[in-house]
Amino acid sequence: MSRKINILQNIDWFTVAIYVVLVIMGWFNIYAVVYNEDHSSMFDFSQRYGAQFVWIMAAFVIGFVIMTLDSNAYHFFAYIAYGITVLLLISVLFFGKTVNAAKAWIELGPIQLQPSELVKITTALVIARLLDYPHFKIHSFKNLLLLGLVLFVPVGVIILQNDTGSAVVYASFFLVLYREGLTPWALVIGFVSLILFFAALLAEKLDLVIALTVFTYLIYYIINTRIKYLLVAAGIFVGSFILLYLTDWIAGTDYPFYYVYLGAIGLSSVIQLIVIWTRRIKNTSIIVFFFLITVGFTFTVDYAFYNILEQHQRDRIDELLGI
């Protein structure tokens, strides 16, 4: 039995309208930024805004063609397309062209191709196909490893191309996976890492570490809801700090307060873990480990900012933070 399907009937026109408005706003912004009095027409193809209009029209045509194709085609070719685009991505490392300090482009005659943009599409297709399997459980370690491999292979290659801006885009996939059942801890870790990154650039390291200490003890109390556990934990830290401070004073080594405080964190954390394991206090050892990781993370920010990020990327962050 034949059936007639109207593809236009099932389109979310509200979302499409929002997309069209955003595209037009972007086009207007390009026109305003690179306006040339000698080429005032927005449809002047010798200018960026004219060329952008061509790409906008091409995108609408391609989008319509994509909608007309049978969805089974994407299901069938997902792995093949992903493999091809990843190989293209890797080839950029050997044959690519450097633009704005990123070796991310391939020249094909008059056409320049950026494979990292194509891999975003094929990665989404592969993830969609994996999640579509009836017996695919996202909480399974094997499946999480597989999803991580699909995501981090292109991300790793893109980072090698020095195109961290494109690599960051892949973080949006975690929102999709969260919607499909991924533990919220993945989002919490990502959000906390982002906040700590900016905080480490704005605040003094000692002030930030002290704030993390206070916040950790607050979380410790919220989870245990027993004041005696909080007092024991705080007593262990204060005792560790006094011990190290007196040792430093008696030995005359005169270490900076900063080092003594960090030493107290390390010593008290070890003692606290021993107390937790011997008394079998539930759900608290993870807090200690999380605290140690966050403190350690704050000391990697400066290195990443000044040695991994390019100058134009640092300038964007400085502009965002107003520093």
Chain segment 148-172, per-residue pLDDT in tens = 899 999 999 988 888 877 888 888 8
Section 25-51 average pLDDT: 84
Section 200-214 average pLDDT: 90
Cβ–Cβ < 8 Å for 302, 282:
no
- Identify the sign of the CA torsion 134, 135, 141, 145: negative
Token digits for 71?
A: 């969805």
DSSP state, residue 163: -
According to the model, what pLDDT value does residue 2 have?
44
Give, in order, the Cα–Cα distances in Å from 147 to each of 97, 126, 130, 137, 174.
Answer: 30, 9, 8, 11, 10
Beta bridge partners of 105: 97
Calpha distance 123→154 (Å, rounded): 9
Average pLDDT, whole number, for the chain?
Answer: 84
pTM over 0.75: no
Instruction: Categorize the per-residue pLDDT at 6 as very low, low, confident or very high, splitting at 50, 70 and 90.
Output: low
Highest-scoring range by mean pLDDT, 35-49, 102-116, 284-298, 300-314: 284-298
293 against 41, higher pLDDT: 293
179 against 262, higher pLDDT: 262
40 against 203, higher pLDDT: 203
Is the pLDDT score of 109 beyond 80? no
Q: Which residues of 105-115 are buried (b: 16+ CB within 10 A; e: fewer)?
A: bbeeeeeebbb
Calpha distance 114→89 (Å, rounded): 8
